[in-house]
Structure 1
Amino acid sequence: MPKYVAWGSYCDGVLEKRDRYRKAHLEGLTRQKESGVLITIGPTKDVTQFFAIYDAEDEVLEL
């Protein structure tokens, strides 16, 4: 399958704002990883952006 790269920018104060959503977010990433669609994901060193690599049939995937 083709590989796709996703990237984006975090909002200001992301480390403080993410707490209430973090558990559900990590659970969703775990499901994606277990299904084989998510290869890797993570923030940049300065936590201003993230990058992810997906293995998918096409660019659009409904979760």
Structure 2
Amino acid sequence: MWNNYYIGSYLSGAQSTNTTWIHGRMTQGFTPVVPAVASLIFYVSLLFVVVAFLVEFREEVSG
């Protein structure tokens, strides 16, 4: 996410991406919303990875 911050910031124009929103909130003043959103993104991504792993594992066992 952060490795593409400069590209996302440059190409987003007037729109706000997750990365630019988090960066803006961190520079303007740290609020509890920033870690909550970051945690939400992390845990949702982790959930997708675990589900993909379980689906792949079940296909190997049944096949």
TM-score (norm 1): 0.31
TM-score (norm 2): 0.31
Task: Tell me which protein shows more helix as a share of its residues.
Answer: 2
- Greater radius of gyration (CA): 2
Larger relative contact order (Cα-Cα within 8 Å, sequence gap ≥ 6): 1
